[in-house]
């Protein structure tokens, strides 16, 4: 029964529209089925006014008038080429003029004596009211009053559709006329009780309402209903995933004694914050359960996530298992390895001379390692001698045998999808999954967490450890403040003179034309418009010849061989190094996780090419020790431009949560959700994560109840189908992304 009904929405467009039109719809708008077309909602509605007397017109109003054509003349225009057609219309008492440019052919329709409806915005020309390019609909020849036609034409909302090459709004409109009558009895993915309890209309009514509204109220009600549906279907999917996670099994990791964790805490030169202790508790509880933890730990840069992660890893080592820490790049993996080894000190030297009794080892696995080195590290992993294994995300795909993988910590990755979690199954003991902790420094607004991350638990480190001074941030508009720019480089020299480190960040690597003569794509993904953004290579050369001739300057970018990057970072990070670097001119490779306590200053050149979150991340690289930090955002973006607004926002606060909300507002949710807007279709059309928090909360509750009652949706085929479609879309988007 239901399958037949829903087949209406699945019907390929060529079957109902004709091949050429359907082809244009597919190519231009990505619409393939009747359902796709009906989910291509109007972008907005134009309004025809109510029927108005000619005598009561006011300039600027949208009006519709019933009138008779009196006379029509066409004459050439005086100033420009082309012709102007003027028709005088009258309602018997008053008259006014209609004008059309270059439409002489309309003389054939607008013959004197014909009556009809004319709609448009009232304008004024040489003192007289007129309608320029009105829409009109003439009554049949000889008919002077046609009430039905008047009712049908006046006061209506005209849907305006998103158009594309080869497809006009008008064509979409006509196609919608063809398919709307086919959807009688279409199956609603929203169960009736859920719908009725909220006073929402059925799907069929909503589709009619949004495409063919009679009033604004109808549009609002239809949109409310369709928006709820988007939130609801998504939340049902997430509720099912939560249930699936609970159904998986994991080994409980409860240590008999927390000797490593305790020894580690005793080594720390500071006290853990209450937030760090609380999150550690949550993680310990999760890992004591028989199903895998899947927790997201978010906290601003410098909030102390790494310490929490290390404690979680040591806890599973205390319980006899192993932990893997995955970083997004080799540079960061190597750095994590360095900093964890340093934090652990003798605790990381088990079995080595001078190592502690309680202890473990920390292995590092990277693609660029020498074979012999890698082999010895792999051996530690396989035997379990290495309790902690650090590598890049590629570690999951690689053939690495763990002795007993208990916990995976994923650093700085927004989305650790279902597919990736499934890949973990192969890494752990038969039939079980490791516990997973994902860390991110890009704070995620609550509603985004509830949509994108609705199937994970979220912990937040809200406070930054005491004793850290905030980074002062200033915007320097280069063309207006050349003196400031010179002063900025002077300041860099002063910092260096005090033994501090300085980052200079550029959006691009530089004009290194490759062998094929191709352009350097850069690393920040700047909007390529107008002048090219500064490149690392040119700027480094300029600085070295000019204002920074007396400092030790290095470059770092993504195209350097891993070993060279590693070596450059070491020289920059280690104050004792004989070949130390004072200033690092770099791309965004320094964005995440890079930790150099002596770094006190960052200059971001062409800062307007970066997004808010990225700037905040970058800035988080300085002021990590106890020294105060300074960040200069250099731009030539004009005051009042959106780019300047972004920079001013970053300069105005160091609160990552405030910035992420702002960022979300400015970008809309598209990028955050990972559903790129460049694609034709988007899963969320009416639901804006930033604006519709109540809808999301409400839908989440409803979804949980529905899934609790019927986990497989066996009794709700319409909903099952909608969830299925979402999963397929989700996977397609996800695959596209990599
Ligand atoms: P995140 O990974 O969240 O950016 P880290 O864990 O790297 O932050 O911590 C940033 C810096 O703060 C490190 O130098 C770390 O040693 C220090 N730190 C962490 N926790 C505390 C604390 N409770 N008190 C003082 N300093 C801390
Ligand atoms: Mg960190």
Query: Angle at CA 230, nearest 5°, toward 726 and 189?
Result: 75
Asked whether 301 lines ligand 1 (CB < 6 A), one says: yes
> Which structure tokens are listed for 514?
């490759």
From the options 3.40.190.10, 1.10.10.10, 1.20.120.140, 3.40.50.300, give the CATH code of 471-653: 3.40.50.300
Mind listing the pLDDT tens digit for each residue in 120-142? Answer: 888 888 888 899 888 888 888 77
Q: Among 682, 730, 720, 676, which Cα is nearest to 40's?
A: 682
Which letter does DSSP use for residue 12 in this model? B
Around Cβ 401, how many Cβ atoms within 10 Å? 10
Among the bound ligands, name the one nearest to the CA of residue 325: 2
Give yes or no for residue 705 having a pLDDT over 90.
yes
Say what the pLDDT of residue 255 is. Answer: 94
Residues 6+ apart with CB under 8 A from 478: 485, 634, 635, 636
Site of tokens 């004319």: 118
CA of 349 to the centre of ligand 2 (A): 23
Q: How far is CA 27 from the centre of its chain?
A: 25
Ligand 1 atom closest to residue 306's alpha carbon, by position in its atom list: 6
> Could you tell which of 269, 272, 304 is best to mutate to test the pocket of ligand 1, judged by most ligand atoms within 8 Å of the CB?
304
Mind listing the pLDDT tens digit for each residue in 221-248? Answer: 999 999 999 999 999 998 998 888 788 8
Asked whether 441 lines ligand 1 (CB < 6 A), one says: yes
CA distance 441 to 353: 37
Q: Among 456, 410, 402, which Cα is nearest to 430's?
A: 402
Say what the pLDDT of residue 599 is. Answer: 92
CA of 301 to the centre of ligand 2 (A): 7
Q: How far is CA 121 from CA 245, 251, 440, 536, 644, in A?
A: 58, 71, 52, 54, 36
Q: Kindly report which listed range (527-536, 542-551, 723-732) carries the lowest average pLDDT score.
A: 527-536
- Sorted by where each begins, the domain ranges of the chain are 1-43+170-186, 50-160, 471-653
Asked whether 336 lines ligand 1 (CB < 6 A), one says: no
Give yes or no for residue 452 having a pLDDT over 80.
no
Asked whether the beta carbons of 47 and 161 are under 8 A apart, the reply is no
CA of 256 to the centre of ligand 2 (A): 29
Write down how long the chain is: 738
> Could you tell which of 465, 619, 621 is best to mutate to test the pocket of ligand 1, judged by most ligand atoms within 8 Å of the CB?
465
Asked whether 299 lines ligand 1 (CB < 6 A), one says: yes
Asked whether the beta carbons of 445 and 664 are under 8 A apart, the reply is yes
- Which CATH number does 50-160 carry? 2.40.50.140
Asked whether the beta carbons of 613 and 454 are under 8 A apart, the reply is no
Asked whether 273 lines ligand 1 (CB < 6 A), one says: yes
Asked whether 307 lines ligand 1 (CB < 6 A), one says: yes
Measured torsion, CA atoms of residues 18, 210, 235, 703, in degrees rounded to the nearest 10: -110
Say what the pLDDT of residue 52 is. Answer: 77
User: For the chain, what is the mean pLDDT?
Assistant: 84
CA distance 208 to 205: 5
């Amino acid at each position: 029964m239901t399958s037949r009904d829903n087949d209406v929405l699945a019907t390929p467009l060529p079957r109902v529209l004709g091949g050429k039109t359907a082809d244009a719809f597919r190519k231009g708008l990505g619409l393939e089925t009747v359902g796709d077309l009906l989910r291509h909602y109007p972008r907005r509605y134009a309004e025809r006014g109510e029927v108005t007397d000619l005598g009561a017109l006011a300039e600027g109003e949208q009006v519709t008038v019933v009138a008779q054509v009196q006379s029509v003349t066409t004459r050439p225009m005086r100033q420009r080429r082309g012709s102007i057609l003027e028709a005088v219309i009258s309602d018997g008492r008053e008259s006014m003029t209609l004008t059309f440019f270059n439409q002489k052919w309309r003389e054939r329709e607008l013959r004197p004596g014909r009556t009809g409806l004319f709609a448009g915005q009232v304008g004024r020309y040489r003192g007289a009211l007129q309608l320029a390019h009105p829409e009109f609909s003439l009554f049949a020849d000889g008919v002077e009053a046609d009430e039905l036609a008047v009712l049908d034409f006046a006061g209506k909302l005209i849907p305006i559709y998103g158009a594309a090459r080869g497809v006009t709004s008008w064509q979409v409109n006509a196609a919608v006329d063809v398919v709307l009558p086919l959807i009688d009895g279409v199956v609603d993915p929203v169960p009736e009780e859920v719908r009725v309890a909220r006073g929402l209309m059925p799907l069929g009514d909503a589709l009619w309402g949004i495409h063919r509204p009679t009033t604004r109220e109808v549009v609002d009600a239809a949109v409310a209903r369709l928006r709820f549906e988007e939130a609801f279907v998504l939340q049902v999917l997430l509720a099912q995933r939560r249930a699936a996670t609970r159904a998986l099994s994991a080994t409980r990791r409860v240590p008999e004694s927390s000797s490593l964790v305790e020894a580690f805490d005793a080594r720390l030169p500071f006290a853990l914050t209450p937030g760090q202790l609380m999150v550690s508790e949550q993680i310990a509880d999760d890992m004591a359960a028989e199903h895998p933890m899947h927790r997201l730990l978010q906290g601003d840069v410098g909030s102390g996530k790494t310490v929490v992660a290390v404690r979680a890893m040591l806890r599973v080592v205390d319980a006899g298992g192993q932990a893997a820490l995955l970083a997004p790049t080799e540079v960061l993996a190597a750095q994590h390895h360095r900093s964890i080894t340093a934090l652990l000190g003798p605790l990381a030297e088990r079995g080595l001379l001078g190592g502690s009794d309680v202890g473990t080892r920390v292995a590092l696995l990277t693609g660029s390692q020498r074979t012999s080195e890698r082999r010895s590290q792999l051996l530690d992993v396989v035997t379990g001698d290495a309790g902690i294994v650090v590598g890049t995300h590629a570690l999951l795909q690689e053939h690495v045998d763990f002795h007993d993988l208990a916990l995976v910590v994923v650093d700085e990755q927004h989305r650790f999808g279902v597919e990736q979690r499934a890949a973990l199954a192969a890494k752990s003991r038969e039939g079980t999954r490791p516990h997973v902790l994902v860390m991110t420094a890009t704070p995620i607004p609550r509603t985004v967490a509830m949509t994108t991350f609705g199937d994970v638990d979220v912990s937040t480190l809200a406070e930054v450890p005491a004793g850290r001074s905030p980074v002062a941030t200033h915007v320097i508009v280069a063309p207006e403040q050349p003196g400031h720019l010179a002063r900025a480089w002077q300041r860099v020299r002063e910092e260096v003179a005090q033994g501090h480190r300085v980052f200079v960040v550029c959006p691009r690597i530089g004009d290194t034309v490759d062998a094929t003569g191709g352009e350097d794509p850069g690393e920040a993904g700047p909007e390529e418009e107008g002048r090219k953004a500064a490149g690392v290579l040119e700027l480094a050369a300029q600085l070295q010849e000019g204002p920074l001739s007396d400092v030790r300057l290095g470059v770092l970018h993504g195209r350097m061989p891993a070993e060279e990057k590693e070596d450059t970072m070491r020289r920059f990070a280690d104050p004792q190094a004989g070949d130390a670097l004072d200033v690092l001119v770099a791309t965004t490779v320094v964005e995440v996780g890079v930790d150099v306590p002596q770094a006190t200053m960052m200059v971001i050149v062409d800062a307007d090419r970066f997004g808010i979150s990225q700037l905040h991340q970058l800035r988080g690289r300085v002021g990590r020790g106890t020294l105060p930090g300074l960040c200069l955002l250099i731009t030539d973006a004009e005051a009042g431009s959106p780019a300047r607004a972004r920079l001013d926002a970053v300069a105005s606060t160091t609160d990552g949560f405030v910035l992420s909300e702002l960022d979300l507002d400015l970008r809309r949710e598209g990028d955050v959700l990972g559903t790129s807007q460049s694609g034709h279709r988007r899963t969320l059309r009416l639901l804006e994560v930033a604006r519709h928090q109540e809808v999301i909360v409400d839908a989440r509750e409803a979804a949980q109840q529905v899934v609790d009652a019927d986990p497989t949706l066996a009794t709700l085929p319409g909903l099952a189908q909608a969830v299925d479609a979402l999963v397929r879309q989700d996977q397609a988007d996800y695959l596209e992304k990599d």
